[in-house]
Structure 1
Amino acid sequence: MISIGEGWKDLASALRGSDAGERVYVVGATDSGKTTLCRYLVDTAAVQARTAYVDCDTGQSRIGPPTTEGMAVYPDPSEPYLRFVGSTSPGGHFVQTITGAKRLVEKADELSARVTVIDSPGLVSGGVGVEFQFQMIDLLRPTRIVALQRGRELERLLANFTRNPGVAVHRIAVSPAVVVRPAAARRRYREERFRVYFAGAESQEISLRGLGLQGRVPDLGNPRGIGGRLVSLNDPENFVVALGIVEDLHPGGRRLEIFAPPFDPDAVASVRFGSVSLALGAAPGSIESFRR
């Protein structure tokens, strides 16, 4: 059940009444209700138009496992498209986050989505947050920016787009029904999502011969400490085929042993190494660790 906030129905009506394609960028701080609003907009728009939901929150993703951005098309979603950022927050991974979002929005266009709703990361505060969101918006070129604010905290960002005739800016107050989740609850959510994703996983080997290597690539000649590293096996377009947890790198760096859901090795064109290590058997609260 979605608690509908003030101004939501008017925004949904504007999307339904538009004759042109719509690209909606929803921005706000963590725990401002972005995801709930996005779900509402997608559900209402998909009643009469092919609608894509692009989820850019790699920590609290609703489409793919943590560390990924995802895109699904409604009303009849097939398997989602995922991009591996390699971290559960944009910090230190701005390029991967922005590039992944751009590619997912392009894929939504290729799949003939008339409405695309983009759920942005919650990094909005300070100069870094404003610059990050500016670059996301400038690259993705939404037709509408929906700003969820408790006061005027997003006005510095919005000032860059209010005079653009091709962009409508909607200011919506954060709903009093929004529940602020502590960091421990957000961590528990990530851990549960990882456990669900790897529930049917098994140990497998993949040859690295001829494959591209991306991200935080370790020294393949001296792979000490590589165990537990989260990696993405990608198709030729750099969309995720499967995520895996490294178990071992065979001598010479030619074969990688990973714990992963079943996948087609012939579909893999590259391997991206992330900044997160996972120990699924560890005690709650200590499954994740991060590498710089």
Structure 2
Amino acid sequence: MADDKNEEGTEFRLVAKDELRFEVESKATVVMEMMEGKGEIFGTELAKGRKYKFSAGAKVAVYTWHGCKIKLNGTTEVAYISKETPMLMYLNTHVALEQMRVKADEENTRGPRAIIVGPTDVGKSTLCRILCNYGARLGRAPIFADLDVGQGHTDIPGTLGALSVERPSDPEEDYSQLSPLSFHFGHKSPGDNITLYSLLVQRLAEVINLRCEKSKKTNVSGCIINTCGWIRGEGYNMLKMAAGAFEVDSVMVIDQERLYTELRRDLPEFVSVVLLPKSGGVVERSKNTRAEARDARIREYFYGIDNSLYPHTFEIKFTEVKIYKIGAPELPESCLPLGMNAEDHKTKVVPVIPSMSLLHHVFSVSAANSIEDNITETNVIGFVVITAIDMEKQAFSVLAPSPRPLPKNVLLMMDIQFMDIK
């Protein structure tokens, strides 16, 4: 039930197992406050009396197990209470994972590894967030691995990454305050370079295995893996490859019975494949909306939530950095050097000559010290955007999260661009 309160905002009274869903209108902000009872956002418990601020385009779902009263101040595109929600099934999924953790703790074995799959816009990343937050609330530290290079939930788009969720994420900030492990991919879709994508998925799985070997808590807590929405043809093969690389024991398929049936047929018998419904609050996004979300994610990296960070712009000489791009143009087999195959070009590190074409591109700052290191499989430690180029002075102006100098001098070029408009 909603009661209009004019300038005081709108109050919503939720009973047990209700879900308040709202979307913030374009160019608006909404401040939410829990007045009474208990509620949660994507598995993170809300603090009574605290005011949570959500910016334009934010889609929020407040769920309550026991009942609560919520007040919204600001302009929403839509706001309503729903009784049709999959939260009970999501909780059961969490309970099943926790039982596996308890058993792993007792037997000193590896905890659960669950991969979430399904088409685009069904709530895969939301379910990952719920499961990670529920685990953290019980004192676990599950690893969240993000293979969705198009949106970038652990870092920025164009990367694959992972982070340890040791405490529930903030409802306003998601995982933005945590330090992820990130690998440079450089494209918005795995299909832009399948060979490189496969290599990085396997590399990410290797690093997570090493982390689990060194920490019993991490090993027992397990891993929650998010995927992109490409589920046909090569995309389906990528899902199977990822499941094998991470040695998953659970697959959660959201809202796609055909995919569920195919995975049950093709994966080993010991892998549990479960079909889950999507939330009624999930809406399909257009290409423009997804592009805007990518820009917002990159902007958030530099400027923070609600412009809480202050990035730096400074000049660097062409000679101070070495710029590379991973993946060379395809050549006919007749033109390839003896012994080289076409796939080698997909992971080849190619030097990039400074030119005006680099303007507004996003660049990863590699942790590698030189080209002699394995740049392709080396993690990145940050990102910059070239905002201006002076060919006469042989210098770039870059937008960076911290002041000069750059921590390393190896930059990896992305196909993704960002216009720094104040």
TM class, shorter-length: 0.7 to 0.9
In structure 1, distance between residues paired with 2:323 and 2:355: 17
Structure 2 residue ranges without an equivalent (≥5) = 1-40, 43-62, 64-84, 105-109, 168-176, 304-310, 328-349, 369-376
In structure 1, distance between residues paired with 2:326 and 2:319: 15
Pick aligned residue for 1:38 from 128, 132, 141: 128
Partner of 1:196: 300
In structure 1, distance between residues paired with 2:323 and 2:248: 32
Partner of 1:70: 161
- Write the letter of the residue equivalent to 1:248: I
Residues 37-46 or 109-118, more deviating: 109-118
User: Conserved in 2, the CA contact under 8 Å of 1:16 and 1:48?
Assistant: no
- Is 1:104 aligned with 2:186? no
User: Conserved in 1, the CA contact under 8 Å of 2:118 and 2:256?
Assistant: no
- Is 1:175 aligned with 2:279? yes
User: Conserved in 2, the CA contact under 8 Å of 1:214 and 1:270?
Assistant: no
Partner of 1:27: 117
In structure 1, distance between residues paired with 2:225 and 2:409: 28
Pick aligned residue for 1:82 from 143, 165, 182: 182
- Is 1:8 aligned with 2:90? yes
| Structure 1 residues 16-41: Cα deviation after superposition (integer angstroms, max 9, x where no partner) | 11124221111111111111111111
TM-score normalised over the length of structure 2: 0.58
Identity %: 21
- Is 1:164 aligned with 2:164? no
In structure 2, distance between residues paired with 1:265 and 1:136: 37
Distance 1:108 1:146, change over 3 A: same
- Write the letter of the residue equivalent to 1:132: M
Structure 1 residue ranges without an equivalent (≥5) = 283-292
Partner of 1:134: 240
Distance 1:189 1:277, change over 3 A: closer
The structure showing larger relative contact order (alpha-carbon pairs under 8 Å, at least 6 residues apart) is 1
User: Conserved in 2, the CA contact under 8 Å of 1:133 and 1:157?
Assistant: no
Pairwise CA RMSD of aligned residues? Answer: 3.0
In structure 2, distance between residues paired with 1:261 and 1:207: 20
In structure 1, distance between residues paired with 2:206 and 2:315: 32
Partner of 2:250: 144
Distance 1:21 1:208, change over 3 A: farther
Q: Secondary structure in 1 aligned to 2:239? A: helix
Partner of 1:286: none
Alignment of 1:200-239 (within 5 A): 200-205=311-316, 213-215=324-326, 217=350, 219-220=352-353, 223-236=355-368, 238-239=378-379
TM-score normalised over the length of structure 1: 0.81
In structure 2, distance between residues paired with 1:186 and 1:56: 16
